[in-house]
Amino acid sequence: MISREPFSWKHFCLWVLLFASGLLTAYIIFLGAISVWVGLSNRQEDAFFMPILAGCLAIMVVLWIFFHLSRYLLGHMKEKGVLDR
């Protein structure tokens, strides 16, 4: 007989949250890359480095937050809760 674990809403919700945060992270990285591209394509302007700086900073901050959030969520997926028996 094959033993199956019961459906866990906790794991499902955490996976959905992880997927949604990944999509939001990808969107912000896309906007940061556009900002860097705009800064590099306007090198003749006086403050061309500001979009480059803002884009790189946004990419670094959002990746840092995403990696820590994903470690936190994956750690909680391993725990057994009150509803998971």
pLDDT digits (tens, 9 = 90+) for 16-44: 999 999 999 999 999 999 999 999 999 99
Q: Which amino acid is at 33?
A: A
3-state secondary structure of 85: coil
For residue 26, give both structure tokens: 């990808």
Residue 33: the pLDDT is: 97
pLDDT digits (tens, 9 = 90+) for 7-23: 778 888 889 999 999 99
